[in-house]
């Protein structure tokens, strides 16, 4: 080899190694035993639109959801169980657009979507457009664990959920005055609106990642419309090789840009750090097309990211190291 070539080769190798080492994530020795991260939706949430009392109410509920997930992880439970526990607390609360308190369609009914994914196996389950399953995330888990399918919709999903022993409710169970007022305003102004979807992602002590999402969708959505939340790769994604992500935002864009799996793919194929991949997708890619929303997630090393391009996003995380945050507004 001519000397000029060997010098170039050495320089190239050196640069390659230097670049690689600054991109490299933390080592396994630093991986926390467990991590759980949650969201309660992104949107036009700012101190002008919610009172200090409401802020406290939201923070208390986010804390309750985090604590429920953490208790499971601390006692050796799985990331799927922790994600489900946190989401069920938020589905049962009228504060969020999932389960009780879900937004209304243009026909003044609630149609709910949910999904779950396991990072170790890439198994996944989802339900779409269900109107009578009290906790759609439980039905999504049943689809994953007890059916040969990944997604079930409408009446078939409800029959399956009933057979699986899920609690079934009348559609009125989900209704709240606040969401009814919101859909009436949206109908008057011919608008759709999104906010309050819930989601969680976790890393358990076995090194397994999981993510889940549950929503009523968009206020004043057309009856029958399905958003990104139940779509694996759009609203939810988990892969033990990369990260676990749950999204919230304008679903049509999140579907077109396969937001959750794009973040994982950037890590796997570009070697991007989780935080950089998530930030890029939310704050550049989606911003460039006028899409609003955010994601929360955790990578296989226990790093957390929670980027959003809206004024606020209900969010929080806790790690086995004691590190914890619950927040609503942007910095
Ligand atoms: N992504 C949800 C949907 O489009 C809405 C939301 O996250 O607020 O159905």
H-run or E-run covering 215: strand 209-215
Q: What is the DSSP letter of 165?
A: T
- Distance, in Å, from the CA atom of 84 to the CA atom of 73, rounded to the nearest integer, reads 12
How many A from CA of 281 to the centre of ligand 1?
Answer: 16
How many A from CA of 247 to the centre of ligand 1?
Answer: 8
Q: Return the ligand 1 atom nearest residue 195 CA.
A: 8
To the nearest 10°, report the CA torsion of 306, 312, 315, 317: 50
pLDDT in tens, 224-236: 999 999 999 999 9
How many A from CA of 29 to the centre of ligand 1?
Answer: 37
DSSP secondary structure letters along 15-42: HHHHHHHHH----GGG--S-EEEEEEEE
Mutate to test the pocket of ligand 1, among 126, 227, 235 (most ligand atoms within 8 A of CB): 227
Classify residue 18 as exposed, middle or buried by CB count within 10 Å of its CB (0-12, 13-18, 19+). Answer: exposed
Q: What b/e sequence results for 300-310 when a residue is b if at least 16 CB atoms lie within 10 Å of its CB, and e otherwise?
A: bbbbbbbbbbb
For the cut 70, the answer to whether the pLDDT of residue 4 exceeds it is no
Mutate to test the pocket of ligand 1, among 179, 211, 213, 228 (most ligand atoms within 8 A of CB): 228
Collapsing DSSP states into helix, strand and coil, what is residue 125? strand
pLDDT in tens, 256-270: 999 999 999 999 999
What pLDDT is recorded for position 30? 87
- Nearest Cα to Cα of residue 141 among 84, 202, 207, 90: 84
DSSP secondary structure letters along 75-101: TT--HHHHHHHHHHHHHHSTTSSSSTT
How many A from CA of 217 to the centre of ligand 1?
Answer: 5
Q: Is 310 a catalytic residue?
A: no
Collapsing DSSP states into helix, strand and coil, what is residue 65? helix
What pLDDT is recorded for position 43? 87
pLDDT in tens, 80-91: 999 999 999 999
How many A from CA of 227 to the centre of ligand 1?
Answer: 6
- Nearest Cα to Cα of residue 164 among 180, 187, 140, 181: 140
Residues 6+ apart with CB under 8 A from 156: none
Q: Return the ligand 1 atom nearest residue 216 CA.
A: 9
Q: Which of 48-62, 103-117, 121-135, 274-288 has the lowest mean pLDDT?
A: 48-62
Its pTM stands at 0.92
**Which residue's CA is minimally distant from atom 9 of ligand 1?**
217
- Distance, in Å, from the CA atom of 53 to the CA atom of 187, rounded to the nearest integer, reads 29
Cβ < 6 A, ligand 1 pocket: 41, 97, 194-197, 215, 217-218, 227-229, 235, 248-249, 251, 254
Mutate to test the pocket of ligand 1, among 42, 219, 251 (most ligand atoms within 8 A of CB): 251
* Most distant CA atoms of the chain, gap in Å: 79
Q: Return the ligand 1 atom nearest residue 235 CA.
A: 1
- Distance, in Å, from the CA atom of 31 to the CA atom of 43, rounded to the nearest integer, reads 32
Length of the chain: 331
**Which residue's CA is minimally distant from atom 7 of ligand 1?**
248
pLDDT in tens, 137-158: 999 999 999 999 999 999 999 9
- Catalytic choice (78, 131, 197, 248): 197
Q: Are 320 and 74 in contact (CB under 8 A)?
A: yes
What pLDDT is recorded for position 225? 97
Q: What b/e sequence results for 61-97 when a residue is b if at least 16 CB atoms lie within 10 Å of its CB, and e otherwise?
A: bbbebbbbbbebbeeebbbbbbbbbbbbbbbbbbbbb
Mutate to test the pocket of ligand 1, among 44, 196, 224, 249 (most ligand atoms within 8 A of CB): 249
H-run or E-run covering 200: strand 198-203
Q: Which domains does the chain carry?
A: 32-98+115-121+194-329 (3.60.20.30)
What pLDDT is recorded for position 22? 36
- Distance, in Å, from the CA atom of 55 to the CA atom of 38, rounded to the nearest integer, reads 16
What pLDDT is recorded for position 141? 98
Q: Return the ligand 1 atom nearest residue 293 CA.
A: 7
For the cut 70, the answer to whether the pLDDT of residue 26 exceeds it is no
Q: Return the ligand 1 atom nearest residue 196 CA.
A: 8
pLDDT in tens, 46-77: 888 889 999 999 999 999 999 999 999 999 99
Collapsing DSSP states into helix, strand and coil, what is residue 190? coil
Instruction: Please tell me which residue, 21 or 80, carries the higher pLDDT value.
Output: 80
How many A from CA of 98 to the centre of ligand 1?
Answer: 10
What pLDDT is recorded for position 7? 53
**Which residue's CA is minimally distant from atom 4 of ligand 1?**
251
pLDDT in tens, 162-179: 999 999 999 999 999 999
Q: Are strands 243-249 and 293-299 parallel, antiparallel or unpaired?
A: antiparallel
- Cβ atoms within 10 A of the Cβ of 266, count? 21
How many A from CA of 293 to the centre of ligand 1?
Answer: 8
């Amino acid at each position: 080899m001519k000397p000029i070539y060997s010098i170039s080769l050495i320089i190239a190798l050196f640069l390659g190694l230097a670049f690689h080492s600054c991109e490299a994530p933390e080592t396994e020795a630093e991986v926390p035993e467990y991590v759980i991260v949650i969201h309660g939706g992104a949107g036009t949430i700012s101190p002008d639109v919610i009172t200090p009392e409401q802020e406290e109410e939201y923070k208390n509920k986010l804390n309750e959801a985090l604590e429920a997930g953490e208790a499971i992880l601390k006692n050796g439970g799985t990331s799927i169980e922790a994600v489900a526990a946190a989401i069920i607390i938020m589905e049962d609360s009228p504060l969020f657009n999932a389960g009780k308190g879900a937004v209304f369609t243009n026909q003044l009914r609630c149609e709910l979507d949910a999904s779950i994914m396991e990072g170790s196996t890439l198994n996944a389950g989802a339900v779409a457009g269900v109107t009578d399953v009290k906790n759609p995330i439980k039905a999504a888990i049943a689809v994953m664990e007890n059916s040969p399918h990944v997604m079930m919709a409408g009446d078939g999903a409800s029959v399956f959920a009933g057979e699986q022993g899920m609690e079934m409710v009348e559609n009125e169970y989900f209704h709240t005055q606040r969401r009814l007022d919101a859909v009436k305003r949206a109908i008057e102004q011919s608008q759709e609106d999104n906010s309050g979807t819930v989601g969680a992602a976790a890393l358990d002590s076995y090194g397994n990642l999981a993510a889940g999402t549950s929503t009523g969708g968009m206020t004043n959505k057309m009856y029958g419309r399905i958003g990104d939340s139940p779509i694996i790769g759009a609203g939810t994604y988990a892969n033990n090789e990369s990260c676990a992500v749950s999204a919230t935002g304008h679903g049509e864009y999140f579907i077109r840009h396969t937001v959750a799996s794009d973040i994982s793919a950037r890590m796997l194929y570009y070697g991007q750090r989780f935080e950089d991949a998530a930030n890029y997708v939310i704050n550049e890619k989606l911003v460039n097309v006028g899409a609003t929303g955010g994601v929360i997630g955790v990578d296989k090393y226990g790093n957390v990211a929670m980027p959003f391009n809206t004024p606020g996003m209900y969010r929080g995380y806790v790690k086995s190291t004691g590190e914890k945050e619950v927040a609503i507004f942007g910095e």
